[in-house]
Amino acid sequence: MIGICYDVTDQMRADEWIHALAFHDPLTRLANRRLLMERIGQAQARSHRRGDHGALILLDIDHFKKLNDTLGHDLGDALLIQIAERLAVALRETDTAARLGGDELVVLCEALDVQPENAAHEAAMIGEKIDALIREPYRLEPGDHAYSCTASIGITLFHGHDTTGSELLKQADIAMYQAKRAGRATLRLFQPAMQQAIEESARREGALRRALEQGDLQLVYQPQVDRDGVWVGCEALLRWSLLDGTVLKPAQFLTEAETTDLMLSIGDWVVSTACREIASLPASTQAGKDLVLGINISARQLADPRLIERILAIIQPMRFPPARLRFEISEALLFGDFERNAVILERLGAAGIRIELDDFGSGYSSLVHLKRLPLSGVKIDQRLIAALDTDPNAAMIVRAAIGVADALTLPIIAEGVERESQRNLLLDMGCVRFQGFLFGRPMPLDAFRRAYESRCA
Ligand code: C2E
Ligand code: MG
Ligand code: MG
């Protein structure tokens, strides 16, 4: 009898190693996405048999990128490894912890209550437990001082095979995003209404994109006058005409676009259309100068590093003089990230474009900041003008706002002037440029041109 004997230890180790590699995250040794998806399928089958619930808990470490950038990737990795270890210790044997990549970790819990309300409560308790263990301080390097962090947590429940695994991940992600929006370091439970809101917003964005492409957006122009009622400028305001004849105002659709790059395309369209249309008007006003064109610039546009290149690429080929342009930037927006925006305004100013502070007096500007910006004027907030002739407080604030602008030698315009009494008060206070229904409503180009020509004649 001949016996042949092989030592297969190495072979088996290699197999185990390959298996581990294929199903686990090499850094944290948690399950990877592939294994998680497999486990979700199995958990759903068990939930279906037992009639109970399961939960998918997605956690995203707050400001992880900042940690990585400031402390280095090694310490970022060390943090992830420690969090993974904590999860592994705290979870029940039947639960699965996984890393989807980056700083996104997922916990899959099974055998929660049969009643959805109770199951949601249990899932929230687990979420809070995870939240607490993540908040415990970390020592990332021996001898180093303690580091602490938080996570934004999104939770979704499942019951049998009601929802696919990837759909569940999407739901947990939506809930996690809500937690981020609520200021981070908190948890949110997925609700179908969240998804509806997101789908609705995607639908509206698609409709707006089509409106831009199909030419359903228009600009209307509102005159700006001096103390004698002579037209010295105009503001371009955006409108969206629907098929049924309804005309939407910016507040009804722009906030949506603001969160996406669609705002950049709309912004480009506004600049090019307004410059082309206003350039087509007769050469000069009664004032002996061309109308100055006011265009509103949104937060998204201001945040675009290529803003100035984009603007110049539009106005240079049509030879629209930059000095005729006045960008209106809302006060609230400008002071969001003052240092950055100040640099952008410097560059716009250097390109010869004037900048006016819109909605001035609504309460954000500090004198020190105002002084540092290359502004060419301020526009007093129409909410203040609205109450000017009825509320002594509003009158006081307007007077103070005009005083500030005067001290900084910034020209002033008042918007939303509807009554003679408001105009007279403003004149008394030293304001000599106005915009509002009293002098003209926002008009489509043709009507604006006719009114303008009859004045120039
Ligand atoms: P804003 O720049 O402060 O514009 C002034 C708003 O006041 C306009 O509303 C205008 O129609 C309205 N208005 C003018 N005179 C009077 C008046 O006498 N009484 C009253 N009650 N209202 C008056 P609109 O057109 O609805 O625009 C609202 C805001 O939407 C604008 O505020 C501006 O921030 C933004 N917006 C408008 N067009 C654009 C655009 O092309 N791009 C961007 N990014 N934002 C725009
Ligand atoms: Mg404006
Ligand atoms: Mg305004």
Angle of CA points 119, 186, 120, to nearest 5°: 5
Q: What per-residue confidence (pLDDT) applies to 210?
A: 96
- Identical fold at 9-190 and 203-456? no
Q: What is the mean pLDDT of the chain?
A: 92
**CATH annotation of 9-190:** 3.30.70.270
Q: Which helix (H) or strand (E) holds 166?
A: helix 165-181
| Average pLDDT for 37-43 | 96
Which residues share a beta bridge with 151?
61
% the chain with pLDDT above 70: 99
Give CA 179 to chain center in angstroms. 15
Angle of CA points 260, 268, 284, to nearest 5°: 145
How much distance in Å is there from the Cα of 369 to the middle of ligand 2?
Answer: 20
Angle of CA points 166, 102, 151, to nearest 5°: 85
Which residues sit with their C-beta closer than 6 Å to ligand 1?
222, 237-238, 249-251, 254, 270, 296, 298, 328, 330, 358-359, 382, 415-418, 435-437, 442
| Average pLDDT for 125-129 | 95
Say if residue 78's pLDDT is above 90. yes
Say if residue 354's pLDDT is above 70. yes
What are the tens digits of pLDDT across the range 151-176? Answer: 999 999 999 998 999 999 999 999 99
What are the tens digits of pLDDT across the range 325-345? Answer: 999 998 888 777 788 888 888
Say if residue 260's pLDDT is above 70. yes
Say if residue 64's pLDDT is above 70. yes
Say if residue 257's pLDDT is above 90. no
Q: What per-residue confidence (pLDDT) applies to 416?
A: 97
How much distance in Å is there from the Cα of 249 to the middle of ligand 1?
Answer: 8
Helices (H), 336-389: 338-350, 367-372, 382-386
| Average pLDDT for 76-92 | 92
Atom 22 of ligand 1, residue of closest alpha carbon: 416
Atom 27 of ligand 1, residue of closest alpha carbon: 250
What are the tens digits of pLDDT across the range 173-205? Answer: 999 999 998 889 999 999 988 888 888 888 889
Query: How would CATH label the architecture of 203-456?
Result: Alpha-Beta Barrel (3.20)
What is the torsional sign of CA 428, 430, 432, 435?
negative
pLDDT band at residue 123 under the 50/70/90 scheme: very high
Instruction: Select the more confidently predicted residue: 389 or 369.
Output: 389
Report pTM: 0.74
% the chain with pLDDT above 90: 70
Q: Where are the domains of the chain?
A: 9-190, 203-456
